[in-house]
Every structure is written in C-alpha cells, then in structure tokens.
C-alpha cells in the first residue's frame, strides 16, 4: 500500500496513463448489476449474519453469542446429514455432468425427431417440484409403482425406493438427476454449438472417427460448458432441499436428511436465529468445497 | 392520525356513544375494503368464502378479499414475516395454542378482551388464544378430536365393541387381523400422520399425571422419564411389532389411508377428526360406516378424548380499519356466522360459539365424538397447554412406527428435540 | 502527412520489462517490418502502437499527435490480426463497414467505401457471405478489407499470413506489396518470418529481448548485420558461425584461426585487436565454395541436390554443423571430407560482445 | 447395415427417452384428466373417465379466475426480469472474464455466494419497504434479478472465455466504445448461451413461488405457482385439479423453450477463430 502511494507520488506522469484494460472494459459496466445484487442480496444477507448470534423470533432478538452454533452442532443427525449432503452432491452432479454431456452430444447430432427429443429431455425442468415429487412418489411405490411393476415383469424384485432407509437418499438423487439433467443438457448444447464447425470438417478430412472427434474436439472445446455444469450442479446439489422435502421430508425417519433440510426444518419451526447459524455453517461447508473447485476450473478456462 | 382522532374524541367529553355514532356512518356510507389471509387447509377457504359472502350480504358497503397462503411451517413463516414487517392483511387466520405465542400477540395483535362479542366465545377456546390476560382471537371452525376412525361395518361383521381400553383395542385388532382385514392403517409417506398415537394419547397422560403439562413446560417432566407419557411411543411400537399395520405403511399417504378405511380394507385409522369432511366428499356412500372413538388408555373408567382447538381469526395492529375488522370478528363469533360455517362445510365437531348447536343429521363419526364433549371427558392436546412442541416428533414417530427405534430412545430423542425448541423460545429454566 | 515516431518507448508487465526503450522513426508511406523470434516484443510494440497495450513510459507520436493516451479509434490506425478476428455474426460487407457503422457514417458513404475496398480485394461477389462460408485466404482478405475501409494513416499487421498455407502466403505477400503501392499508406508489419520481412519491407526493424537490434533496408541488414543476432536471424539458410582467435592484426586486416580452421585474413580497419582475442566468425552458406585447398575442413553429413544448387550439411572437427549452398549440381558423398573456401570480403567477424567488427562504431 | 447405423441410434435414443422422460409426463396428463376419486387413488392407471374440459374449466375459474391474473403477473415479471438478467449478467460476465485484477477473486467469491447462501427474507423486506419497492412488481423483478444473477453470470463468463480477445481488439480499433463492443460484437456472438440463459431463467422465475410469496403479497399479485395452493394443502389435495394446474402452468415455459430451441443453431461462431 505504502509502496503504491510512494510510486504514484514519485511518478505523477504515470497516473495520467490510462489503464488500457480499464478503458476497454470499464468498471462502470458492472455498476447496475452490482447495485441490484449488492443492495437486494448481499446487504440483507450480510446483515442477517448478525442474527445467527441471536435468539430471533422475527419479532424480538436477543444476543446469545455462539449458542446457536453450539446447538446446531448438537443436532442429533447432523453428522449423517453432512455425509448425505456430500453423497447427494457428488452423485447428482456427477450424473448430470456425464449424462448431460451424453444427451447433448446425442441431441446435437443429426437425429430424426431431434427437436422433439430436446423438448422431452427439457420438459422435467419445467414441471414444478411439487409435481415431480408427487409423480415419482407414485411411480416409485414399492409394490404398486410402475417402476417396480416393470421390474417385476422381468423377474426383478424392485426395492422400496423411497421407503428403504438405505435407499431413499439415492432415489431422491435419481429423481433430481431426472429433473435437472435437461438443464445440464441445454448448457452443453450451447457449448457444443459454439464449437466452430471447421474443426469437425477438418477432422473429418483427417479421417477421425466419431469417438475421436468427441475425444479430441468436443470434449476439450466444451470445457466452459462442462465447468459451468459442474459448478452449478455441485453447489445446487449441496444446497438442495426442496425435492427432498416434497418427497421424503428427510425420512424415513432422518435417513435422507441433508444439511439444507435440517436448516430448513429449523426455519420452518421458527428457529430463525438457529437456522441462520445453520445457513452460515452450510455456507462455509459449500465454500470450502466449491470455492477451490471454482478457482481450479476458472484457471483452466482462462488458460485455454 | 390515530392519536389525533383519539384526542378529538376525548375533547368531546369521552362521549363513547357519540364517537361510535360518528364512526358508524363513516363506514356505513363509504365502501370499505378489507383483506383476509387464510391458509389453504381443508375447507378453510370454503369457510372463509361462506363467511365473507354472508357478511357482505349484511354489509353491502364492505368487501373482503381473500388471500391464500400455504399451511404448515411455510405458512407459519409467512404469517410471522408479514407481521414482523408490518405487512399483514387486515384480518388473518392462524393457529391457536402454542404456535400463537410465536407471533408475539401482545406486540402484533389487537386484543379482543373488551369486545362484547367475546361473551359468545366459549372459555375453552378463549384460553388457547390468550396471553397475559388478553384474548386475541375468535374460533375459526369446529373443535376436533384425536383418536381412531374406524370402519363400523367391519365391527358389525365381526361383532366387535368399541374398545374402552388399550387391551380391548388390541384384542379387536387381533380379531380383525384374523378376519383378513388390516387392523390399523398407517400412512407414513405423509409423516405427520404418524404422530397421532403419541399426540392423541395426551388425555390418558393427564389422567395419570394431571400436572404433566405444567411440569413439562418448566423442564421438570420428560417423555423419557414419565411412564404415562412414554406409553404413546410404546403403543405405536406395539402396533408395528404385532404386525397390525398394512404392509405398505411407509409408502402410503393420508388420502390412501382414508380410502382404505372407507373401502373396508382397514378397520382403524388413527386420525384427527378433521378428516371427516374429506371422507364425506370423497366417499359419500361409505361415510355412514365410519365411526370414531378416543384413543383408549389403560382404564375404561377414565376414557376420554384429546381435543384440538380450531384455529383463530385475528386482527393485527396494522389493520387499515379496526372498526370493521372487529365487526367482522363479531360476526364470526355470532350464531349467524357459525351457521354460515356449518352451511359451508357441514358439522364435523362442536363449534365453540354459545348458542350454536349442531344439526341432528351429522355423520356417525361426528355423532360418536360429541358425547365426549357433552360429558366433559375432553382435554386439550399438549400443544394447547404448553408452548413447547418439538418439531421432529413426526420423524421420530415414523422411526418408532417402522420399528427402527425403540420407544425409550424415541422418548429421549424427543426430549432433546423439545429442549431445542424451549431454548429457542427463550423459556426460563431451560 | 503522418509518419510515426517512438521515443524511448518502454513497457513492463509488473517487474518484467518487455520493451526496453525503443527509438524509431517511420516515414510516411514506408513499409516497415518488425521481425524477431517469438517473445522478442515485436507484437507488444505493435499493440502499443495500436493502443491495445499501455505505454509504460516514453512517447509515441503518430503524425504530429502524441498518442500515449489516445484511444485506438482516434489514432488513425487500422490493424489486421493474426487470427483475422472477423465478426462471425456479420456478413463480409458488415465486417468491412463496421467501423463506419460505429462512426455513424452515412449509409451511402459506407456502401461506397465498402464497395471500393471490395474492388481492391476483388471480393465483390462475396459481400453477402458470413466469414464461416469463406476460405482461409478469403478471410484474410476480409480482415485486410476491414482495415482498408478505415482509410487509416497507418496500417498495422500482426503476423497476418501465419495461418495460411505456403502457396497462399506467397500470393498474399505479393498482394500486400501491391496494396502498399496502391494505397501509399504507412504500414507496420510484424512477423517472425524473415523471408516475409525481406520481401515486403522498405525497412526492417529486428527486435530481440525488447530492444531494437538493427534497422535498415533489407539488403543492408543482410550484408552488414550489426551483430550476431541479426546475422543469424536475417538470411536463409542461417549464417554459419564458429569461434576463432586472433592470430595477428594490423591497421587494415586481421588474421584469425582456430584448431580446425586454417588461418584466414579478413580485411578490417580501425579496430584495435590483440592477439589471442576470441571472436566469432560468420559465413553465409551461399558464399561457400568447394575448394581443395579451402581453409575450412568438413565432413559431409547430408546432401540435398536441387539441380540448380546443392545444399550440403557438413560437420566441422569441433562438431559444429554448417551448411553450404553451392550453385550447380555437385556430387558429394556422405562421410566425404571436403574443404570449403570463401572470399575474405564475405567473412564477418563479431567481437566478444557480439557486435559486427566491420560496422560497430 | 448403414440404415441400422443411421437410424438405430435415433431409434434407441427415442426409445430410452420415451421410457425415462415421457412416462412421468403421461402420468401427469392422466392425473390431470381423471375425476377426483380416481385421482385420489394416486396410481398410474388409464383414466376411467375423461374430464379434460371439466377440470380445465374448474382450474381456470378457481378463486375468481386467479390463474388468469397469475398468468399476466408471472409473464410481466418473467419477461422483464429475464431481459434485465441477460443484459446485466452478460455485462458482468464480460468484464469479469476480460479484466483480471486483484479484486477478481473477491468478486468471484461474492458471485458464488449468491449460489451458496440463501437470501435473508426479513431484512430484505425491511430494506424493500424503505426503498418503497416492497409489494410492487418492479420490486419483485429486481429481487429475481438479484437472486438469479450469480447463475447467469457464471454461465456467461465461462462462455465469454471462448470468444477470442482479438475480436474485442479488432472492434476497439474499429472504433467501438465499451458499450458498442458489448452490444454489437460480444452479445451477438453469445447467442447460444444467451438462449440458454433465457430458457433457464424463464423457467426459474416463472416457476418461482417462494419469492413472490414473500415479496409480492396480495391477491391481485398472485403468480402462477401460487395457484397450486388452490388445490393442494397440507392435509387434502385435489390431485386431478392440481395436476391440471401443473400442466397449465408448465405450458408457457414449454412454448418459450420450443421457440428458443430453434434459435440454437449449430456453428454460430465458426470462423471467429482460425481458419
């Protein structure tokens, strides 16, 4: 800091020289967005952090130091919820990243009924969570559900998808993938169509097979899309609770509780201070996992 | 503005009559618009629409607009948020009992203590909408009972009697089981339905420990250490162990539970009586075969019903027109208002308004419930006597009812949950 | 009109100095080529001229305007990028006319100028195409056309031909030359390819390590490179070098030699050299001839017979690889010992500091 | 053989998507046309009787044509929010991707925070009341913009990385000022990702129900997701009407998708980079 100031004083001429980047990409372009985001999201969110240190009923708040955090870490099923959160995030984002890419490659290749298929894949994204929840609760019914009835036809005794304690979380994860893969696919499609056609033409002349084209052109060039899908679905997976809430409410018992649903339950119960503390903990957890990931991915994008 | 008006009134020599006569034309002539926030619970909207229609007919210059909110925890949050930010509608419906305390009634609501229409409201209800000597709400709908809805056709077929004790109930179950019917329907996909054995057992708890609620609030009585209180969990476990439930208990929901009961697949469905209107609508032909009895305890002599008070209608301090809002509350608490409600959704329990009787043609399940009230064999559920209700109860009861957790550890876990709630409420002694 | 003047231009990225003080004057209408290996700072210098990089210190004058803080659009320059940087969503005509659109030029003027440029480049029939529908050479021309339309005082080219195949490159080189004559504008051209530099430039500026090594007409650079670097960089194939020691020196000549090189006398005046000084001797491959009594003894590694000339790769006793380009078809066998000779006027000597002893002041 | 190769893939893809994606969809349609009793059985069965018109009319008319009001409100909110979001977050993504300075990691962090931290409702309402934008459509629009900004910025930034900087420089030399550089050169090249952002955010905002619930209370302000509460409550649900409602509110975003899907054409940026 001191050095910079000294430098500016010693070289008054330098301060006149405009930063080229600054004039090409002036910071005022960020102002409208920064104003909306800063005022309506960051400011209230940061002020709310204070409430994590209070017993807060919305009507009154009483400062209680770190009691909420202590209480939060004493949640009886917190450890299990933590494990569930990480499992859920990895399973869903992993599947979305891979299946989304597969579907996108398929849906950008010349297929009959391509538009129809794109719509079909995207359709689940449009259906409200409530609808998805009810639909799959019914389809996954252990005895009368279509899924197990179909499995029974080929001689498999289907599991109790949502009612088995060891399976419920994974079942919800599968439904989340079903619901979210369309989004990943659309992002991937945007990435794939952004790849100049020349590359494919050149590689075709070079005699590349479809797999080689995928491996050496699509895969490296679709990276920005892939990183977007990774980061969005991973953070989304860590924070998801709405689908869990509509499908299992964290059950049976507490077996499919994740951090976000634990926090949400506290919020629903009116434990506002405690749930704010829980959000802070969840935020730290996500930040610890996602920020390094994001930095890593960003570096890869920039050095492209 | 308010202050000025008040001063003016005082300057006129405290002539209340004059003030009223000034105020009355003010809304008799002008068009008054009120907003009313109601939840989307069973028949809540129907009741609200009926009340509004009846009131607007009487007062053509008033129009009341309904706004719907979700129920449950999300709905509670909306009510709290809107009250805390001063954005509540002119009138709103909200829970009575423990949950009412969470919206800081003294800070946010207009007291009704001195309103003449409160004389119409039965004491049983007034007590669950009061804090520090002030009353805040009028009843919205009828009182409910928690117990067992049963299929009387099965009872008739097997020659069974309504059980007065738990043992008798289990014997009935055994007979029903042998006859090939499902003795007890459980529907844990909607986990709230799993709590009835614990919650509706509270009448029996009070028989054994009359001061349980008070000691529980004061951090003295615990589910884990009270034999009577733990029985709810034990009975839930016993039903599962005996294999009396439907096999797909963990995959079914509430509607399917009602369907099984109506279609004579299952004999008992532990439930609160607010299910009755739904049965009437969906199974008009079978509803006459559905009866109701209180959750039996150990002793036939002290058999009684745990009751749920209806929600209340409240006026926030931020209301745009207190006079008209009060007038409307007075209407709800009148026999006229009560009858409008009965017309709308039928009579599925005693309305807590003086002089508002039930018609004679109520369905059997309601008829079965009424004697408990008439004979005074009722106690309110714990949530109406104590501000503390642990939020995780339904998940714990699912675990017990599915056989994952034994009753003792469930009781302990629930005590832990209760402690969290009490601490969050900032109660003394926790 | 407008020439271009750089006074002690410097550029640093943090602690790294990329341009270490460049002084240069370019006349109006001159075709100047910046040449040097990659990383030498030639592109940076060009981008500083364009206004795409800040100038850390020094002055940049275009015409009589001090341009250090002037926005690129106001510098009277146009630039052609290595990757062409065509706007993919615009047609050729729109690409051409984009700068005029931005300047809100009247429609007729825009159309006229676009048409003029298209005529110059003979691409009137392609005006409605999108860049993706063009071949590499055509895209290159669109990039040039975009510059022409601006009627700049200075054209800047950043390795514009490096993405073209060899044959196309030769064509485009000629077209650029023609274009320069036709437009008479100042052009600054950056390349790492010394052949492009030699063929196009009125003047070549050789850069290395952020400094100007030498500037001058191509043939002067070829004949009298200022230092080892320029000597090695200009001319193809590369000049051959070997270390030598001064055997004796007088006012007009010096005799140098080494273990594998028979002493040779090189005319050189005005130099004070001591016996035993280490120098570097440089000989261009073209000036070597086979001579049984030649001073240079080598072993043939590889012979390329091209008919009109023969390229011989040979090894000195030290192991240094040399190259000779002999005129006519000469038959040599691999492994054969051959003596080479050169005229003493064609031999260059470089001092310990790398400078050409004949030209250094 | 080549026929199999050519169409076999298509056939397999269609077959799998039909099973995985269409079966649940058919379920929703079936539910939407059943009568209440059959829908209450909650199974995947052929409707015993079809109540398309009846259910449709009932859903539309419910609560005084609330669905119509909700359609209008949701459309206004969605269109304005998405338009603002696209422009603002593309700008942010553009500047952030192009300009790397010491503050970039901090901005990155704050943007990620938008994905990681749930918003605080009560402080936000208090703030909006002070700004006078609580309970207003434009207030909710700004909220939707703020809450969905992070997602869009990340999407845009990663795609802007694929646009060579030389294009910016060419435009700068052609005389573009920052805004014209962005609107005339960068934004048109972002078409595929812009379409994606439009589709995704339209869905997110059209389907949002929590934020309108808190920030835009009032019956006249209802949005489409809130209409679901007409038929679904904590204890009782009229499934046939609920699903008819779901179907009806799913159609507008589906139309948006179908329309924009056609805009995603291959090879948009061909020729931007090397030949």
Last residue of a domain, one of C183, C201, C233: C233
Q: Residue C323 belongs to what H/E stretch?
A: strand C321-327
Q: Are residues C221 and C281 in the same domain?
A: no
Q: Which CATH number covers residue C172? A: 3.40.50.300
Residue D125 and residue B87 in contact, taking contact as beta carbons nearer than 8 Å:
yes
Q: Are residues C268 and C184 in the same domain?
A: no
Mean pLDDT of C137-145: 90
Contacts of A7 in chain C (CB under 8 A): none
Cβ of A17 within 8 Å of Cβ of C69? The answer is: yes
- The span from the CA of B262 to the CA of C160, in Å, is 84
- The span from the CA of C69 to the CA of C14, in Å, is 20
pLDDT for D258: 83
Handedness of CA C237, C243, C247, C248 (dihedral sign): positive
Contacts of D214 in chain B (CB under 8 A): 78, 81
Q: Which CATH number covers residue C259? A: 2.40.50.140
Average pLDDT, chain D: 83
Mean pLDDT of B13-18: 36
Band of the pLDDT at D90, cuts 50, 70, 90? very high
- The span from the CA of D98 to the CA of A25, in Å, is 7
Q: Are residues C228 and C247 in the same domain?
A: no
Q: Are residues B319 and B252 in the same domain?
A: no
pLDDT in tens, B367-397: 999 999 888 899 999 989 888 888 889 999 9
Structure-block tokens of residue D208? 């949002």
pLDDT above 70 coverage of chain A, percent: 92
pTM for this one? 0.81
pLDDT for C2: 67
Structure-block tokens of residue D109? 């962090």
Contacts of C96 (CB under 8 A, 6+ apart): C113, C114, C117, C118, C127, C142, C145, C146, C149
pLDDT in tens, B127-153: 889 988 899 999 998 899 999 999 999
Residue whose C-alpha is closest to residue A76's, from A269, A289, A266: A266
Cβ of B39 within 8 Å of Cβ of D233? The answer is: yes
Band of the pLDDT at A10, cuts 50, 70, 90? very low
pLDDT for D233: 63
Q: Is D136 on the interface with B (CB under 8 A)?
A: no
pLDDT for B408: 93
Other CB atoms within 10 A of residue D207 CB: 20
Cβ of D176 within 8 Å of Cβ of C84? The answer is: no
Band of the pLDDT at A301, cuts 50, 70, 90? low
Chain A residues 179-198 within an 8 A CB cutoff of chain D: 183, 186-187, 189-194, 196-198
> For residue A251, is pLDDT > 80?
no
Asked which of A201-210, B293-302, C1-10, D79-88 is least confident by mean pLDDT, the reply is A201-210
Nearest to B395 among A58, A162, A253 (CB): A253
- Domain definitions of chain A by residue range: 2-45, 74-302
> For residue B6, is pLDDT > 70?
no
Residue ranges in chain C assigned as alpha helix (H): 42-50, 92-102, 107-121, 136-149, 166-183, 194-200, 218-223, 228-233
Tell me the residues of B at the D interface, defined by beta carbons under 8 Å apart: 35, 39-42, 44-45, 65-72, 75, 77-78, 81-82, 84-87, 192, 253-256, 259, 274-275, 278, 282
Mean pLDDT of A193-204: 77
Q: Are residues B239 and B322 in the same domain?
A: no
Q: How far is B132 from chain A (nearest CA, A)?
A: 17
Mean pLDDT of A267-291: 88
Other CB atoms within 10 A of residue A35 CB: 13
Q: Are residues B47 and B73 in the same domain?
A: yes
Q: How far is D245 from chain A (nearest CA, A)?
A: 10
Nearest to A17 among C52, C54, C132 (CB): C54
Residue C89 and residue D188 in contact, taking contact as beta carbons nearer than 8 Å:
yes
For D64-261, the fitting CATH number among 1.10.3720.10, 3.40.50.300, 3.40.50.970, 3.40.1440.10 is 1.10.3720.10
Q: Are residues B219 and B84 in the same domain?
A: no
Q: Are residues C166 and C314 in the same domain?
A: no
The domain total for chain B is 2
> For residue D48, is pLDDT > 90?
no
Q: Which domain holds residue B32?
A: 25-142+309-345
Tell me the residues of D at the C interface, defined by beta carbons under 8 Å apart: 164, 166-167, 169-177, 180, 184-185, 188-189, 191, 267-275
Q: Are residues C214 and C244 in the same domain?
A: no
Other CB atoms within 10 A of residue A277 CB: 27
Q: Is A270 on the interface with B (CB under 8 A)?
A: yes
Contacts of B424 in chain A (CB under 8 A): 55, 269-271, 273-274
Band of the pLDDT at A291, cuts 50, 70, 90? confident
Band of the pLDDT at A4, cuts 50, 70, 90? very low
Q: Are residues C313 and C213 in the same domain?
A: no
Mean pLDDT of C61-90: 88
Does the predicted interface ipTM exceed a cut of 0.85?
no
Residue whose C-alpha is closest to residue B239's, from B198, B183, B196, B200: B183
Q: Residue B290 belongs to what H/E stretch?
A: strand B290-294
Residue length of chain A? 304
Is residue B20 situated within a structural domain? no
Mean pLDDT of A23-36: 89
- The span from the CA of C268 to the CA of C358, in Å, is 6
Cβ of C54 within 8 Å of Cβ of A196? The answer is: no
Asked which of A244-258, B14-28, B329-343, D173-187 is least confident by mean pLDDT, the reply is B14-28
What phi and psi, each to the nearest 5 degrees, are found at residue C112? -65, -50
- The span from the CA of B422 to the CA of B412, in Å, is 15
Structure-block tokens of residue B44? 């809540």
Asked which of B10-19, C167-176, D202-211 is least confident by mean pLDDT, the reply is B10-19
Check residue C239 and report its DSSP letter: P
Other CB atoms within 10 A of residue D177 CB: 15
CA angle at C212 for the pair C210 and C213, rounded to the nearest 5°: 115
pLDDT in tens, A140-184: 888 878 888 888 888 888 888 888 888 999 999 999 999 999 989
pLDDT in tens, B164-176: 999 999 999 999 9
Mutate to test the interface with B, among D217, D221, D242 (most CBs of B within 10 A): D217
Mean pLDDT of C214-240: 90
CA angle at B408 for the pair B407 and B412, rounded to the nearest 5°: 115
Q: How far is D75 from chain C (nearest CA, A)?
A: 30
Q: Are residues B329 and B378 in the same domain?
A: no
Q: Are residues B319 and B378 in the same domain?
A: no
- The span from the CA of A105 to the CA of C310, in Å, is 54
Other CB atoms within 10 A of residue B336 CB: 15
Is residue B244 situated within a structural domain? yes
Structure-block tokens of residue B245? 């439930």
Task: Please measure the distance between the N-terminal and C-terminal CA atoms of chain C and give it in whole angstroms.
Answer: 33
Q: How far is A23 from chain C (nearest CA, A)?
A: 9
pLDDT: is C207 or B17 the higher one? Answer: C207
Q: Is C111 on the interface with A (CB under 8 A)?
A: no
Q: Are residues B193 and B333 in the same domain?
A: no
Average pLDDT, chain A: 83
Chain D residues 91-130 within an 8 A CB cutoff of chain A: 91-92, 94-101, 105, 108-110, 112-120, 122-124, 126-128
pLDDT in tens, B204-236: 999 999 999 999 999 999 999 998 999 999 999
Structure-block tokens of residue B182? 């499902």
Cβ of A18 within 8 Å of Cβ of C69? The answer is: yes
> For residue A298, is pLDDT > 80?
no
Residue whose C-alpha is closest to residue D189's, from D128, D272, D105, D262: D272
Band of the pLDDT at C360, cuts 50, 70, 90? low
Q: How far is A7 from chain C (nearest CA, A)?
A: 13
Q: How far is D187 from chain C (nearest CA, A)?
A: 10
Q: Are residues C229 and C259 in the same domain?
A: no
pLDDT for B268: 95
Residue ranges in B150-195 assigned as alpha helix (H): 152-158, 166-178
Q: How far is D222 from chain C (nearest CA, A)?
A: 41
Q: Are residues B109 and B150 in the same domain?
A: no
> For residue D167, is pLDDT > 50?
yes
Check residue B113 and report its DSSP letter: T
Q: Are residues B240 and B206 in the same domain?
A: yes
Residue A141 and residue A119 in contact, taking contact as beta carbons nearer than 8 Å:
no
> For residue C175, is pLDDT > 70?
yes
Q: Are residues C249 and C273 in the same domain?
A: yes
Residue whose C-alpha is closest to residue B100's, from B393, B425, B351, B352: B425
pLDDT for D234: 55
- The span from the CA of C60 to the CA of C6, in Å, is 5
The domain total for chain C is 2
Mean pLDDT of C274-279: 87
CA angle at A9 for the pair A6 and A11, rounded to the nearest 5°: 105
| Contact: chain A with chain D (3+ CB pairs below 8 Å) | yes
pLDDT in tens, D246-272: 888 888 888 888 888 777 654 343 333
Residue C88 and residue C134 in contact, taking contact as beta carbons nearer than 8 Å:
no
pLDDT in tens, B195-210: 999 999 999 999 999 9
Band of the pLDDT at A131, cuts 50, 70, 90? confident
- Domain definitions of chain D by residue range: 64-261
Radius of gyration (Cα) for chain B, nearest Å?
Answer: 23
Cβ of A142 within 8 Å of Cβ of B248? The answer is: yes
> For residue C161, is pLDDT > 60?
yes
pLDDT above 90 coverage of chain C, percent: 33
Q: Which CATH number covers residue B56? A: 3.40.190.10
Band of the pLDDT at D7, cuts 50, 70, 90? low
Cβ of C87 within 8 Å of Cβ of D171? The answer is: yes
Is residue C357 situated within a structural domain? no
Q: Which domain holds residue C83?
A: 4-233
Q: Are residues B109 and B235 in the same domain?
A: no
> For residue B430, is pLDDT > 70?
yes
Q: Are residues C225 and C258 in the same domain?
A: no
Cβ of C51 within 8 Å of Cβ of D172? The answer is: yes
- A74-302 under CATH 1.10.3720.10, yes or no: yes
């Amino acid at each position: 800091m001191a050095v910079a100031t000294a430098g500016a004083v010693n070289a008054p001429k330098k301060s006149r020289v405009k930063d080229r980047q600054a004039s090409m990409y002036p910071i005022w372009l960020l102002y409208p967005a920064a104003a909306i985001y800063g005022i309506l999201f960051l400011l209230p969110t940061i002020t709310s952090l204070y409430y994590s240190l209070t017993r807060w009923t919305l009507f009154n708040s009483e400062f209680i130091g770190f009691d909420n955090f202590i209480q939060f870490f004493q949640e009886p099923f917190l450890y299990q919820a933590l494990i569930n959160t990480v499992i859920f995030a990895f399973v869903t984002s992993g599947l979305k990243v891979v299946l989304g890419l597969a579907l996108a490659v398929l849906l950008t290749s010349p297929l009959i009924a391509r538009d129809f298929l794109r719509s079909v894949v995207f359709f689940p994204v449009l259906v409200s969570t409530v609808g998805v929840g009810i639909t799959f609760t019914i389809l996954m019914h252990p005895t009368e559900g279509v899924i197990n009835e179909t499995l029974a036809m080929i001689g498999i005794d289907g599991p109790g998808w949502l009612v088995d304690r060891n399976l419920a979380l994974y079942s919800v994860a599968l439904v989340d993938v079903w619901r979210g893969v369309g989004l990943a696919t659309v992002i991937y499609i945007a990435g794939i169509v952004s790849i100049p056609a020349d590359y494919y033409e050149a590689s075709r002349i070079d005699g590349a097979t479809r797999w080689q084209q995928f491996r050496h052109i699509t895969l490296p060039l679709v990276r920005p899309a892939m990183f977007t899908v990774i980061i969005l679905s991973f953070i989304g997976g860590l924070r998801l609770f709405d689908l869990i809430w509509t499908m299992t409410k964290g059950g049976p018992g507490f077996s499919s509780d994740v951090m976000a649903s634990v926090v949400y339950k506290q919020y629903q119960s009116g434990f506002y201070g405690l749930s704010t503390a829980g959000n802070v903990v969840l935020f730290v957890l996500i930040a610890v996992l996602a920020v390094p990931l994001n930095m890593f991915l960003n570096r890869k994008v920039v050095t492209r | 503005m308010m202050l000025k008006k008040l001063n003016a009134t005082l300057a006129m020599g405290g002539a209340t009559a004059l003030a009223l006569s000034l105020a009355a034309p003010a809304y008799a002539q002008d068009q008054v618009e009120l907003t009313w926030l109601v939840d989307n619970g069973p028949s809540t909207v129907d009741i609200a629409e009926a009340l509004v229609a009846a009131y607007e007919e009487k007062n053509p210059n008033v129009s009341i607009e309904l706004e719907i909110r979700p129920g449950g925890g999300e709905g509670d949050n909306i009510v709290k948020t809107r009250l805390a930010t001063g954005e509540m509608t002119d009138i709103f419906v909200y829970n009575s009992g423990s949950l009412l305390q969470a919206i800081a009634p003294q800070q946010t609501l207009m007291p009704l203590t001195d309103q003449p229409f409160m004389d119409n409201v039965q004491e049983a209800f007034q007590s669950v909408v009061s804090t520090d000597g002030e009353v805040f709400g009028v009843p919205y709908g009828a009182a409910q009972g928690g117990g067992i809805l049963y299929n009387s056709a099965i009872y008739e077929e097997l020659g069974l009697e309504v059980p007065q004790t738990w043992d008798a109930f289990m014997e009935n179950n055994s007979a029903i089981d042998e006859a090939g019917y499902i003795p007890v329907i459980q529907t844990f996909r909607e986990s709230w339905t799993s709590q009835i054995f614990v919650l509706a057992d509270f009448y029996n708890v009070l028989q054994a420990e009359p001061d349980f609620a008070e000691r529980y609030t004061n951090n003295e009585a615990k589910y884990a250490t009270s034999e009577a209180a733990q029985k709810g969990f034990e009975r839930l476990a016993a039903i599962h162990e005996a294999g009396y439930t439907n096999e797909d208990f963990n995959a079914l929901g509430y509607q399917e539970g009602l369907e099984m009961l109506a279609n004579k697949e299952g004999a008992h469905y532990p439930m609160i009586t607010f299910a009755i209107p739904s049965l009437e609508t969906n199974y008009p032909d079978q509803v006459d075969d559905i009866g109701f009895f209180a959750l039996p305890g150990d002793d036939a002599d002290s058999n009684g019903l745990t009751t749920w008070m209806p929600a209340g209608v409240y006026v926030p301090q931020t209301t745009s027109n207190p006079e008209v809002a009060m007038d409307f509350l007075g209407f709800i608490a009148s026999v006229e208002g009560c009858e409008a409600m009965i017309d709308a959704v039928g009579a599925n329990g005693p309305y807590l308004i003086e002089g508002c009787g039930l018609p004679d043609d109520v369905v059997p399940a309601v008829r079965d419930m009424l004697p408990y009230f008439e004979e005074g064999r009722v106690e309110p559920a714990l949530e109406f006597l104590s501000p503390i209700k642990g939020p995780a109860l339904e998940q714990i009861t699912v675990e017990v009812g599915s056989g994952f957790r034994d009753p003792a550890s469930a009781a302990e876990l629930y005590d832990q949950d209760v402690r969290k709630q009490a601490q969050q409420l900032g109660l003394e002694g926790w | 009109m407008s020439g271009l003047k750089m006074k002690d231009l410097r550029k640093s990225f943090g602690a790294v100095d990329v341009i270490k003080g460049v002084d240069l004057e370019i006349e109006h209408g001159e075709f100047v080529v910046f040449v040097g290996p990659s990383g030498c700072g030639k592109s940076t210098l060009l981008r500083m001229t364009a206004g795409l990089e800040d100038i850390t210190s020094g002055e940049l004058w275009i015409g009589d305007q001090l341009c250090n803080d002037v926005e690129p659009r106001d510098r009277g320059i146009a630039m052609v990028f290595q990757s062409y940087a065509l706007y993919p969503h615009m047609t050729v005509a729109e690409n051409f006319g984009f700068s005029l659109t931005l300047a809100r030029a009247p429609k007729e003027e825009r159309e006229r100028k676009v048409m003029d440029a298209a005529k110059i480049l003979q691409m009137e029939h392609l005006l409605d195409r999108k860049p993706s529908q063009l071949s590499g050479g055509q895209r290159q021309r669109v990039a040039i056309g975009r510059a022409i339309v601006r009627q700049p005082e200075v054209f800047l080219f950043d390795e514009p031909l490096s993405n073209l195949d060899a044959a196309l490159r030769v064509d485009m080189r000629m077209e650029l030359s023609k274009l320069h004559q036709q437009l008479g504008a100042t052009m600054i051209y950056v390349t790492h390819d010394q052949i492009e530099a030699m063929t196009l430039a009125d003047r070549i500026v050789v850069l290395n390590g952020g400094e100007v090594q030498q500037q001058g007409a191509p043939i002067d650079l070829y004949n009298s490179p200022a230092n080892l670097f320029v000597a090695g960089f200009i001319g193809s194939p590369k000049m051959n070098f070997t270390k030598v020691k001064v055997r004796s020196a007088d006012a007009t000549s010096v005799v140098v030699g080494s273990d594998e090189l028979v002493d040779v006398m090189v005319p050189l005046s005005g130099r004070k050299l001591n016996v035993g000084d280490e120098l570097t001797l440089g000989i261009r491959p073209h000036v070597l001839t086979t001579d049984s009594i030649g001073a240079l003894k080598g072993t043939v590694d590889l012979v390329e017979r091209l008919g009109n000339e023969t390229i011989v790769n040979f090894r000195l006793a030290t192991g240094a690889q040399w190259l000779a380009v002999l005129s006519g078809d000469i038959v040599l066998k691999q492994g054969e010992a051959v003596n080479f000779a050169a005229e003493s006027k064609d031999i260059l000597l470089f001092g310990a500091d790398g400078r050409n002893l004949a030209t250094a002041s | 053989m080549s026929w199999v190769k050519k169409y076999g893939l298509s056939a397999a893809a269609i077959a799998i998507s039909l099973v995985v994606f269409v079966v649940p969809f058919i379920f929703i349609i079936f539910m939407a046309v059943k009568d209440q009793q059959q829908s209450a059985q909650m199974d995947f069965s052929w409707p015993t009787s079809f109540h398309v018109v009846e259910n449709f009319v009932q859903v539309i008319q419910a609560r005084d044509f609330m669905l119509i009001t909700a359609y209008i409100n949701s459309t206004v909110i969605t269109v304005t929010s998405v338009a603002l979001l696209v422009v603002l977050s593309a700008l942010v993504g553009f500047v952030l991707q192009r300009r790397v300075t010491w503050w970039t990691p901090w901005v990155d962090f704050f943007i990620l925070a938008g994905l990681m931290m749930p918003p605080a409702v009560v402080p936000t309402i208090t703030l909006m009341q002070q700004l006078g934008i609580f309970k207003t459509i434009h207030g909710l629009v700004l909220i939707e913009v703020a809450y969905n900004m992070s997602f869009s910025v990340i999407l845009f930034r990663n795609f802007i990385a694929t646009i060579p900087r030389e294009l910016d420089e060419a435009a700068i030399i052609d005389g573009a000022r920052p805004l014209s550089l962005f609107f005339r050169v960068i934004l048109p090249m972002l078409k595929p990702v812009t379409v994606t952002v439009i589709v995704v955010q339209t869905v997110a905002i059209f389907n949002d129900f929590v934020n309108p619930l808190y920030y835009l209370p009032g019956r006249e302000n209802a949005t489409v997701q809130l209409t679901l509460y007409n038929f679904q409550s904590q204890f009782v649900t009229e499934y046939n009407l609920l699903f008819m409602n779901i179907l009806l509110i799913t159609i507008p975003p589906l139309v948006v998708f179908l329309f924009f899907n056609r805009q995603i054409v291959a090879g948009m940026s061909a020729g931007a980079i090397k030949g």
